[in-house]
C-alpha cells in the first residue's frame, strides 16, 4: 500500500506520476494540511468561519512493490526539480493480510 500527500496544486502531477509508475487504480480525498498550529487555533470556536489549513490531497493505492518503487523514484525526482515548501510526501505500508 502506498499513501501520498500533496498540496492541491500538485494534484494533476500526482495523476501523471501514478500513471507513469503503472498505478492505474487508486483512491483520493481532499484534506486540510497543517504545519504549525498557532495559539489562536487552540482557542478558536468549534465552527470557524475561515478554513484553517492548506488545501491538500491524500491518495492511496493497494499495488505491487515494483510500482511503488517506481513512484518513489518519480516523486523524488519531482521534489528535487521543484522549489517548494510543500514537497510531495509518500509512505509505503506493508499489508499482512487483506480481503
What are 26-70's pLDDT values in tens digits?
Answer: 999 999 887 775 555 545 555 555 556 778 999 999 999 999 999
CATH number at residue 79: 3.30.70.120
In a domain? residue 12: yes
Give the whole-angstrom CA distance, residue 6 versus residue 96: 26
Containing domain of residue 25, as a range? Answer: 2-33+54-90
Structural domain total, the chain? 1
C-alpha cell at 22: 503503472
In a domain? residue 59: yes
Q: Which parts of the chain fold into alpha helices (H)?
A: 11-21, 39-43, 65-81
C-alpha cell at 87: 514537497
In a domain? residue 40: no
pLDDT on residue 47: 54
In a domain? residue 46: no
C-alpha cell at 35: 504545519
In a domain? residue 16: yes
Amino acid at each position: 500500500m502506498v499513501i501520498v500527500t500533496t498540496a492541491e496544486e500538485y494534484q494533476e502531477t500526482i495523476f501523471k506520476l501514478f500513471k507513469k509508475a503503472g498505478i492505474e487504480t487508486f483512491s483520493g480525498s481532499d484534506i486540510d494540511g497543517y504545519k504549525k498550529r498557532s495559539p489562536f487555533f487552540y482557542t478558536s470556536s468549534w465552527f470557524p468561519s475561515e478554513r484553517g489549513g492548506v488545501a491538500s490531497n491524500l491518495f492511496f493505492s493497494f499495488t505491487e512493490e515494483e510500482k511503488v518503487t517506481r513512484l518513489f523514484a518519480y516523486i523524488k525526482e519531482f521534489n528535487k526539480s521543484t522549489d517548494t515548501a510543500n514537497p510531495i510526501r509518500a509512505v509505503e505500508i506493508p499489508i499482512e493480510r487483506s480481503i
